[in-house]
A and B are shown apart, each in its own frame.
Chain A
Amino acid sequence: MRHATDRQLSALLDNELPERKRAHIEHHIESCPECKERLSQYRRMHAALSALPVLPVDEQFALTRIRARVEESGDLELLARRSWYHPALAIAVAALVAIAVLFAVPGTVTEENSLDPKAALTQGPLDNCVAEQETDDIIRGYQSMKQLYYF
């Protein structure tokens, strides 16, 4: 019989060989000093590694630290939820600012001109800044949108 492979020896060590193959290899090892020596080396290595101890650690101290960090991360999450940067709050603030800006610009929309877009765009200081042609373009755009959406 050929020598046992390292793979077979490793599986033999872990009792992971099928019964028949195991018997066959064990029989070979009995009569082969080389394979016997290799298996013996693997066995010793296995014994040394499985005897490695679990290190002594201060479990209570570590648990206290872990609990403190859990609490800290919980506080951070809470803070994030309450934060000014929370998306829902940010959107609401943005909407409020937009509305405020819209009403703050003089001559844009008032009760009298709110139904007449030309009046809304030509009254007040905007008269000076928006050219007549541009105003007509805007009104035409507004009217085509009105037709499109029926409002």
Chain B
Amino acid sequence: MKRREAAAVDLELERRFERLYRQHYARMVSQVHYMVNDIEQAQEIVQDVFVRLHRNLPTIATDELVPGYLFIACRNAIKNEYRRRGRIKSGYGKTVFVDMEKTDFFFRNAETEEEAFIKREDTKAVLLCLSQLKIEDREIILMKEFGGQRYEEIAETLGTTTTVVRGRLHKARQRLRKALLDAGKEIPDETCY
């Protein structure tokens, strides 16, 4: 009887894991890709994080906590990866320039998936300038713009206040705007989208 109950619990846990995986995997891979500029590495990082999520899932009370867990786990993994590679000596903030070869590969790949809009040079320019920002700036911009999160949600995930989020976001946007202007790139026209 007990064995049957345990099997039912395991099955329920597996179903929950799969549901969460379908819900978050692709979006997390994209978000990490936009942070590290490497699609293969992004997939490795996110898969590692999902292995850990599987182990820790019984301790995560509600599904609403999962996006925050995934984000923090990915962020730590990126930090560790950068430290391991020696790209940053301390902290988490040095600029990493985009690997255009890999980005081109990504665009070519997207073309085959008929993601026509991503081919646009202006989106490419924003991505390129984004990749030249500090990773903390990229992180907060992507949480807000790509993740569509509200200040409160970002603050909760990062364990800080909305005032700090507002300040960080504004600084990051300022730097991105400056990077675009310095690169002489036309800031993409919103009517294109």
Is B51 a contact partner of A47 (Cβ separation < 8 A)? no
State the CA gap A111–B46 with chains docked (Å): 67
**Pick the contact of A48 from B33, B170, B193 — CB < 8 Å?**
B193
Is B170 a contact partner of A6 (Cβ separation < 8 A)? yes
State the CA gap A111–B51 with chains docked (Å): 60
Is A52 a contact partner of B30 (Cβ separation < 8 A)? yes
Chain B residues with Cβ under 8 A from A52's Cβ? Answer: 30, 34, 118, 123, 127, 145-146
Is A49 a contact partner of B146 (Cβ separation < 8 A)? yes
Is A54 a contact partner of B27 (Cβ separation < 8 A)? yes
Chain A residues with Cβ under 8 A from B51's Cβ? Answer: 66, 69-70, 73
User: Which of B67-75, B85-93, B184-192 binds A?
Assistant: B184-192
Chain A residues with Cβ under 8 A from B29's Cβ? Answer: 55, 57
CB proximity of A121 to chain B, nearest CB, Å: 56
- Cβ of A44 under 8 Å from chain B: yes
CB proximity of A18 to chain B, nearest CB, Å: 13
Chain B residues with Cβ under 8 A from A51's Cβ? Answer: 117, 123, 193
Chain B residues with Cβ under 8 A from A46's Cβ? Answer: 145, 190
CB-contacts of A46-68 with B (<8 A): 46-57, 59, 62-63, 65-66
- Cβ of A14 under 8 Å from chain B: yes
State the CA gap A96–B26 with chains docked (Å): 55
Indicate with 1 or 0, residue by residue over A64-108, a CB within 8 angstroms of chain B CB atoms.
011001100100000000000000000000000000000000000
- 14 sample A-B contacts, Cβ–Cβ < 8 Å, listed by A number: A42-B173, A44-B188, A46-B145, A47-B190, A48-B188, A49-B126, A50-B145, A50-B146, A51-B117, A52-B34, A55-B26, A55-B110, A62-B25, A62-B43
7 interchain residue pairs of minimum CB distance: A49-B145, A47-B190, A10-B170, A48-B188, A48-B126, A56-B113, A7-B170
